[in-house]
Amino acid sequence: MTARRGAFVVLAFALVWLWVGTSTLAMPWRAVIGGVGVAALAATAWRVLRRPVALGNTRRFVRGRFWIAVAFEVIAGSAAGSLLGNAGLIGYLWPTIGIIVALHFIGLWWATGDRSYLTLMATMLAVNVIALFFPAGGAAMLAICGLGSATCLAVAVSRRA
């Protein structure tokens, strides 16, 4: 995967997390925060497009390690959804997914040798663990895990663009 394509994948997931974070906000906050977030992500995407040099350490990218990280992320996410649903704890799903996504960045560090993935992992992990302390499935939990995760991902891309 090229660094540019990877940046756009991260920005696409940041958009998903932005949607999660704004989904429970009341209007006009949903529109304002969502609009500012989309504008910031679009500006970051524009910077990535205009960048002449590739992001990250693309020479050392080990595709097999990347796919192992992605496979564990998908399996863990599926298992979490099933286990939380069966236990009646589905309200904890989004922060749990955020924690799993954060941990998968260890695999991206392993695949690239780029330590910035460890920083991203630590910040996204912290945001989602904090979100777990709020009422399950509530507006505060979703706003924290969604907006916090979107911010972590967007900042990680923008620092390199």
CA distance 38 to 139: 20
Q: What is the per-residue pLDDT for 159?
A: 86
Q: Could you tell me which of 106, 113, 94 has the C-alpha nearest to residue 70?
A: 106
Q: What is the per-residue pLDDT for 53?
A: 58
pTM for this model (two decimals): 0.89
Angle between helices 3-22 and 29-50 (to 10 degrees): 180
Q: How far is residue 117 from each of residues 21, 30, 159, measured CA to CA in Å?
A: 22, 30, 12
Q: What is the per-residue pLDDT for 59?
A: 61
Task: Report the half-sphere exposure of 106 (CA within 13 A, side-chain side).
Answer: 8
Q: What is the per-residue pLDDT for 160?
A: 78
Q: What is the per-residue pLDDT for 1?
A: 66
The alpha carbon of 15 is separated from its chain's Cα centroid by a whole number of angstroms, namely: 9
pLDDT tens digits for range 23-37: 999 999 999 999 999
Q: What is the per-residue pLDDT for 45?
A: 93
Q: Please list the ranges in the chain whose pLDDT falls under 70.
A: 1, 53-59, 161
Residue 61, SS3 per DSSP: coil
